[in-house]
Amino acid sequence: MARTRILVVEDESIVALDIQQRLQRMGYQVVGVAATGEAAIRQAEQARPDLVLMDIKLRGEMDGIEAADTIRNRFHLPVIFLTAFADDTTLQRAAVTEAFGYILKPFEERELAINIEIALYKHEMERKLRESEERYMLAAQAANDGLWDWDLQTDSIYFSSRWKAMLGYEDHEVGNSPSDWLDKVHPDDLEQLQVALAAHLRGLTEHLEKEYRMLHRDGTYRWVLTRGLLVRNPEGVAYRVVGSQTDIDARKKAEEQLLHDAVHDALTGLPNRTLFLDRLSQVLERANRSAEYTFAVLFLDLDQFKVINDSLGHNAGDELLVAIGQLFRRSLRSTDTVARLGGDEFVILLDDLHDPNEAVRVAMRIQDALKAPFQVQGQFAYTSASIGIVSSVHGYERTMDILRDADIAMYQAKAMGKACYAVFEPSMRKSAIARLELESDLRQAIERQELDLYYQPILAMASGQVAGMEALLRWHHPIHGSIAPDDFIPLAEETGLIIPIGQWVLREACRQMRCWRTTLPGSEKLYVSVNVSGKQLTHCGFARQVAEILSDTGIPAHSLRLEITESVLMDNAELAMRAVEKLRALGVELYIDDFGTGYSSLSYIQRFAINTIKIDRSFVEVINDQGDSSELIKSILRFALDLGLETIAEGVETEDQLEHLKGLLCVYGQGFVISKPLSPEAAGMFLAQAFSEKHRGSTAPIALLQSSSDGCEGGERENGTPRAACP
Ligand code: C2E
Ligand code: CA
Ligand code: CA
């Protein structure tokens, strides 16, 4: 057995020497003799004795009680006091330090030996108690925790029943070796745990704390938290680690769910924009490192998703999006990423392509798969997608640029019609930029007074009289010159600019109408016809706006007609119906424009109680010089007659066509043969002449009338620039 090592603290050197000799005779080892409190502490730290024999009265700043206190607290060493006299205050002070014994000088060897043995025994008991208290403390911390106690000398571990039960094991099913623990750690987590353990064992960390996955008996992995604390012996050598294991599986799963939710789309469960961009940045890095590696991004936008959403309802729309997401997922490799950006926009990242055409093939495959109907809410829904494709070969540096170019290509695909794809080329960027510029110019067009209305007469076939004027929008761009409505109205619709523009058109047309009505005798029945886009019609407060404009400009409601296309009614039936009802309540009539080009659903026309249709130019066009027409226009006109609908033929370009239509009992005609759209001034002259002829009772065809100036050339424009005086 190792000899007990004792530090002697005694300021009288002769006494110190005596004690030292006596101790050695008794079989103890004296590891040092200190003469002051400070020296005692220093030597206790260096020598780490099993016991300290401490004289209470010491020379110097610090007395024995103080020194003992420090040694006990810092190094957990037992101290026996030696004292020549024991006054009450000294003893009381000594008691506070929890001394392990007092020996009154002079003392006998036997007395000394017994005191030493008792002190050592008491100290050992105290140490054991402290250890079990440590274990108890850990257990108490979480009653549900499993406990472990690793004896580093024997390299065996005690695992508590709870520790084992947490992993689905009975007590006898787990041994007591470190491998019983470490073998169950998830391979991906093992290294980190071992690093943390080693760091703590080397005293680099104050305690061990690690979250990792453990293999449950049922074959699944469970998240646990392990905490541990090193226990050192009096020499400061670690001989034991005790710790706990807490089940944090539920918390971890909840955390994972939160993390998952943050980067996934709630509806489809697909990655969202954030996660997509993250994956994209990873492949981008890879592509920039290796020349052979290429990837592609597909930007998909569903065609006419809004129609489905509006006609079948939002739930059906949602269901369809989920189904489409699944279809995309199924059509791709597991290494590809499908994400939903929002609305009906999806993006696909095709990882590691061997052939640039692969992306096109995927796009075609997706479009093919979309041909089959989807069953949502018990109904069949058809959809298609416009797909923009961009490949990494263009050498990107930023993920946003890739997404932007894919979007540009998608836009290009959309312009080609439904279910098309387009592969991005740098030249597309130019047209996209041009479009952006156009958009910003359009925003300022009203303010800068670049918008203008032209007017095209509508003629009553039978009498040859002017019935109305259709207002047609013109944009005089400061650089690009005159831009046709077909080239900017779709942009205005997309950007929402159609709302303020449409409002300006309505107000300006009504103002002009009012001006004509007041200056032209016999013009009470003349009306102005204004084109209204779907967005405008279904925009909240449209009817209120119309009422306001009518009252501001002081024209009767029957002097205003609104032209809408069939698709407006079809695409958003519910909202359109409400708007149409309100307009009709005001007394404003509606025309169906471009009739025959859309769904041609007469049932819609009846449902909306519309009584005038404008037959599309394409039907008029086919009427040839001999006056033959297609059966189609004949049957449309016959049908309209049966239903009691009024008809206007648009785009009448020749006398023959005009005569032929008259013969087919088409009620009104409009077209270049009668008049091209005219500037307000020219339109004013046209009307003046028409009405003065009418006044004189002439029945001469209006198309043959020569324009001449009259008193009404328009008044204040909406934006305040005077054009000409109008009463
Ligand atoms: P739309 O309503 O069908 O207007 C008739 C279009 O045919 C006009 O083109 C007109 O200039 C043209 N046109 C008239 N007669 C003839 C003809 O005999 N032969 C030929 N080939 N064409 C003829 P424009 O003015 O370029 O307008 C195009 C379209 O832009 C309009 O078609 C209308 O849908 C839309 N639009 C025009 N102004 C407005 C507006 O203020 N608001 C809205 N939402 N759309 C407008
Ligand atoms: Ca029209
Ligand atoms: Ca038309």
Query: Reduced to 3 states, what is the DSSP secondary structure of residue 166?
Result: coil
Q: Does residue 651 have its Cβ closer than 6 Å to ligand 1?
A: yes
Taking 80 as the threshold, does the pLDDT of residue 131 lie above it? Answer: no
Q: Which residues contact 370 (CB under 8 A, 6 or more apart)?
A: 324, 327, 383, 384, 385, 419
Q: Which residues contact 92 (CB under 8 A, 6 or more apart)?
A: none
Which is more confident, 709 or 442? Answer: 442
The predicted pLDDT at position 609 comes to 81
Q: Does residue 714 have its Cβ closer than 6 Å to ligand 1?
A: no
Distance 667 CA to ligand 1 centre (A): 20
Distance 523 CA to ligand 1 centre (A): 24
* Structure tokens belonging to residue 305: 């998703």
To 5 degrees, how large is the angle CA 358–CA 364–CA 365? 85
652 alpha carbon, closest ligand: 1
- The residue contributing the CA closest to ligand 1 atom 42 is 531
Which segments within 604-719 are labelled E, that is strand? 612-615, 646-649, 668-669
Distance 439 CA to ligand 2 centre (A): 23
The CB-side HSE value for 182 (13 A sphere, CA atoms) comes to: 14
107-119: pLDDT as tens digits: 877 778 878 877 8
Taking 60 as the threshold, does the pLDDT of residue 725 lie above it? Answer: no
* pLDDT, average across residues 53-58: 90
* pLDDT, average across residues 41-58: 93
The predicted pLDDT at position 722 comes to 35
Q: Does residue 531 have its Cβ closer than 6 Å to ligand 1?
A: yes
- The residue contributing the CA closest to ligand 1 atom 16 is 651
Distance 715 CA to ligand 2 centre (A): 24
Task: Render 83-130 in DSSP notation, one character per residue.
Answer: ES---HHHHHHHHHTT-SEEEESS--HHHHHHHHHHHHHHHHHHHHHH
The predicted pLDDT at position 710 comes to 39
Q: Does residue 218 have its Cβ closer than 6 Å to ligand 1?
A: no
Using pLDDT thresholds of 50, 70 and 90, give the confidence band for residue 596: confident
Distance 594 CA to ligand 3 centre (A): 4
Short-list 439, 440, 436, 500, CA closest to 473: 500
500-530 burial: b if 16+ Cβ within 10 Å, else e: ebbbbbbbbbbbbbbbbbebbeebeebbbbb
* pLDDT, average across residues 443-449: 92
Q: Are 557 and 514 in contact (CB under 8 A)?
A: no
Task: Render 469-526 in DSSP notation, one character per residue.
Answer: EEEEEEEEETTTEEE-HHHHHHHHHHHTTHHHHHHHHHHHHHHHHHHHHHHSTT-TT-
Q: Does residue 486 have its Cβ closer than 6 Å to ligand 1?
A: yes
Q: Are 528 and 512 in contact (CB under 8 A)?
A: yes
* Structure tokens belonging to residue 386: 């416009």
Report how far residue 306's alpha carbon sits from residue 445's, in angstroms, rounded to the nearest whole number.
29
Q: Does residue 297 have its Cβ closer than 6 Å to ligand 1?
A: no
* pLDDT, average across residues 229-248: 87
Distance 673 CA to ligand 1 centre (A): 15
The predicted pLDDT at position 718 comes to 42
> Which range among 60-69, 272-281, 689-698 shows the weakest confidence by mean pLDDT?
689-698
Distance 327 CA to ligand 3 centre (A): 40
- The residue contributing the CA closest to ligand 1 atom 17 is 651
Mutate to test the pocket of ligand 1, among 451, 472, 655 (most ligand atoms within 8 A of CB): 472
The predicted pLDDT at position 260 comes to 85
470 alpha carbon, closest ligand: 2
Report how far residue 319's alpha carbon sits from residue 301's, in angstroms, rounded to the nearest whole number.
16
- Summary mean pLDDT of the chain: 87
Report how far residue 173's alpha carbon sits from residue 608's, in angstroms, rounded to the nearest whole number.
79
Q: Does residue 616 have its Cβ closer than 6 Å to ligand 1?
A: no
Distance 459 CA to ligand 1 centre (A): 16
Using pLDDT thresholds of 50, 70 and 90, give the confidence band for residue 198: very high
Helix (H) or strand (E) holding 604: helix 602-607
Report how far residue 52's alpha carbon sits from residue 44's, in angstroms, rounded to the nearest whole number.
8
Report how far residue 572's alpha carbon sits from residue 537's, in angstroms, rounded to the nearest whole number.
10
- The residue contributing the CA closest to ligand 1 atom 21 is 651
Report how far residue 655's alpha carbon sits from residue 627's, in angstroms, rounded to the nearest whole number.
10
Mutate to test the pocket of ligand 1, among 452, 454, 456, 531 (most ligand atoms within 8 A of CB): 531
- The residue contributing the CA closest to ligand 1 atom 3 is 594
Distance 531 CA to ligand 2 centre (A): 5
Closest atom of ligand 1 to CA, residue 563: 2
Q: Strand pairing of 29-34 and 5-9?
A: parallel
Taking 80 as the threshold, does the pLDDT of residue 89 lie above it? Answer: no
Q: Does residue 572 have its Cβ closer than 6 Å to ligand 1?
A: no
For the sheet with 337-342, list strands across it: 337-342, 345-350, 296-302, 385-391, 421-423
* Structure tokens belonging to residue 280: 């994209």
Report the share of the chain in percent with pLDDT over 90.
59
203-224: pLDDT as tens digits: 888 889 999 999 999 999 999 9
* Structure tokens belonging to residue 172: 């006898």
Query: Reduced to 3 states, what is the DSSP secondary structure of residue 680?
Result: helix
Using pLDDT thresholds of 50, 70 and 90, give the confidence band for residue 98: low
Closest atom of ligand 1 to CA, residue 530: 41
Taking 90 as the threshold, does the pLDDT of residue 193 lie above it? Answer: yes
57-74: pLDDT as tens digits: 888 889 898 999 899 888
- The residue contributing the CA closest to ligand 1 atom 37 is 472
Taking 50 as the threshold, does the pLDDT of residue 302 lie above it? Answer: yes
To 5 degrees, how large is the angle CA 329–CA 331–CA 332? 70
Using pLDDT thresholds of 50, 70 and 90, give the confidence band for residue 94: low
- The residue contributing the CA closest to ligand 1 atom 34 is 531
Q: Which residues contact 596 (CB under 8 A, 6 or more apart)?
A: 615, 616, 618, 619, 632, 636
The predicted pLDDT at position 110 comes to 76
Using pLDDT thresholds of 50, 70 and 90, give the confidence band for residue 600: low
153-178: pLDDT as tens digits: 999 999 999 899 999 999 999 999 99
Report how far residue 138's alpha carbon sits from residue 339's, in angstroms, rounded to the nearest whole number.
46
Helix (H) or strand (E) holding 232: strand 221-232
Report how far residue 394's alpha carbon sits from residue 389's, in angstroms, rounded to the nearest whole number.
12
* pLDDT, average across residues 24-50: 93
Q: Does residue 136 have its Cβ closer than 6 Å to ligand 1?
A: no
- The residue contributing the CA closest to ligand 1 atom 19 is 651
Closest atom of ligand 1 to CA, residue 616: 3
Taking 80 as the threshold, does the pLDDT of residue 681 lie above it? Answer: yes
* Structure tokens belonging to residue 388: 């923009």
Q: Does residue 485 have its Cβ closer than 6 Å to ligand 1?
A: yes
Using pLDDT thresholds of 50, 70 and 90, give the confidence band for residue 650: very high
Q: Does residue 538 have its Cβ closer than 6 Å to ligand 1?
A: no
Report how far residue 391's alpha carbon sits from residue 394's, in angstroms, rounded to the nearest whole number.
7
Short-list 59, 61, 95, CA closest to 79: 95
Query: Reduced to 3 states, what is the DSSP secondary structure of residue 342?
Result: strand
Distance 591 CA to ligand 3 centre (A): 10
Closest atom of ligand 1 to CA, residue 653: 18
Using pLDDT thresholds of 50, 70 and 90, give the confidence band for residue 689: very high
- The residue contributing the CA closest to ligand 1 atom 6 is 651
* pLDDT, average across residues 117-129: 79
The predicted pLDDT at position 97 comes to 62
> Which range among 21-25, 37-41, 621-625 shows the weakest confidence by mean pLDDT?
621-625
- The residue contributing the CA closest to ligand 1 atom 13 is 651
* pLDDT, average across residues 590-598: 86
Q: Are 529 and 591 in contact (CB under 8 A)?
A: yes
Using pLDDT thresholds of 50, 70 and 90, give the confidence band for residue 136: low
Which is more confident, 607 or 425? Answer: 425
672 alpha carbon, closest ligand: 1
CA distance readout (Å), 421 to 173, 359, 711: 62, 11, 56
Q: Does residue 472 have its Cβ closer than 6 Å to ligand 1?
A: yes
Query: Reduced to 3 states, what is the DSSP secondary structure of residue 103?
Result: strand
454: left (phi over 0), alpha (psi -120 to 50) or beta: beta
Q: Does residue 657 have its Cβ closer than 6 Å to ligand 1?
A: no
The predicted pLDDT at position 486 comes to 94
Short-list 550, 576, 578, 557, CA closest to 565: 576
Distance 659 CA to ligand 2 centre (A): 22
Using pLDDT thresholds of 50, 70 and 90, give the confidence band for residue 721: very low
Taking 80 as the threshold, does the pLDDT of residue 328 lie above it? Answer: yes
Classify residue 642 as exposed, middle or buried by CB count within 10 Å of its CB (0-12, 13-18, 19+): exposed
Report the share of the chain in percent with pLDDT over 70.
90
DSSP one-letter code for 173: G
To 5 degrees, how large is the angle CA 86–CA 68–CA 21? 75
The predicted pLDDT at position 553 comes to 96
> Which range among 166-175, 299-308, 475-484, 593-602 shows the weakest confidence by mean pLDDT?
593-602
Residue 618: what residue type?
A: S
Taking 80 as the threshold, does the pLDDT of residue 95 lie above it? Answer: no
* Structure tokens belonging to residue 586: 């005001």
